[in-house]
Every structure is written in C-alpha cells, then in structure tokens.
Amino acid sequence: MADLIAGLLFVFVLGLPLGLGVLAAGFLAVAFYRRRRPFAQLGPGLGLRLGSLSGALAFGILSASLAAAVAVFHSWHQVQQKLLEMLREASTHNPYPIPPEVMEFVQTPAGFVAFLAMTLIALMIFACLGGVIGGLLLRRNKPPGMNQS
C-alpha cells in the first residue's frame, strides 16, 4: 500500500524522481506499521526490514508492469525501446548525462539485464533508507517505569 501511495503521489502527481518516491514508500511502510501496532518497539532495525520489504514490492510492481506491457504490445523490443527512450530523456535533464558508451551497453541484452539489476539495487537502497529514517523518527520512547535496555 505504501508503495502505491508514494509512487502515485511523488512520481506521477508531483513529478519527482522515482528514488524519492521509493524513499517515501519505505518511510510510509514504517508509519503504517506504527499505526497498526501503536505499542510496537520501532527502531532503525525494524525500519530497515520494513523498508527492504517495500523495496522488493516496488521492484515487483515494476516487473509486473513490464510483463503486462510485453503482454499488451506482444513485443519485448517495443517495450525495451520505450524504456531506453525514457532513460535517454531522463539523462538529458540530468546535470551528469549518461555517457554514450553506457547507453550502447544498455541496448544489448546483457546490458539491459544489468540495468534492471541496478534498478533493483537502487530501489532497495532508497526504500531501506526511507525505512531506517522512519524507524528513527517514528519510534516511541519507553513509558516511565519500564526498564531501559
């Protein structure tokens, strides 16, 4: 749920980069967990686990979207070309554009798989970071009288 809310809000409504949306999804995963379990002991460790789950779900949603696009267009080549076009467009707005050699490598089958693997790693890093931030910011202090350990 956190992935969908953050993805829709940050990426599509506000037009912010996907990394910020996934970071927000990790944070929202912790916030939703805290809401369902108000007395749970939150911390960076639990935030990391919730964020990693959120990152895995984000990559699953991305993978399912790619599979659905291939099923609709009946051509992996068209989907790959559309993704490369989006990557080129994003590169033009970046102060550090992607070198032409890297773009050529991404157009090969091995390069595209490497690109998807790097996407998974980036999604996991941002989601875990959002979860850790959420765990740190949303943790509750222990009530008075409980042992501090």
Q: DSSP string spanning the chain?
A: -HHHHHIIIIIIIS---HHHHHHHHHHHHHHHHHHHSTTS---HHHHHHHHHHHHHHHHHHHHHHHHHHHHHHS-HHHHHHHHHHHHHHHHHTSSSPPPHHHHHHHTSHHHHHHHHHHHHHHHHHHHHHHHHHHHHHHPPPPPTTS---
Q: Where are the domains of the chain?
A: 2-138
Walking along the chain (149 residues) 10 residues at a time, the average pLDDT comes out as 56 63 87 87 90 88 82 79 81 79 86 86 91 89 56
Beta-carbon count within 10 A of 74 CB: 8
Q: Identify the pLDDT of residue 57.
A: 87
Q: Identify the pLDDT of residue 145.
A: 54
Beta-carbon count within 10 A of 80 CB: 18
CA nearest neighbour of 79 among 65, 61, 98: 65
Question: How far is residue 136's CA from residue 78's CA, in Å, rounded to a whole number?
Answer: 43
Which pair of tokens denotes residue 34? 């805290």
Q: Identify the pLDDT of residue 59.
A: 86
DSSP E strands in 45-136: the ranges are none
Question: How far is residue 95's CA from residue 68's CA, in Å, rounded to a whole number?
Answer: 32
Q: Identify the pLDDT of residue 65.
A: 82
Q: Identify the pLDDT of residue 1.
A: 56
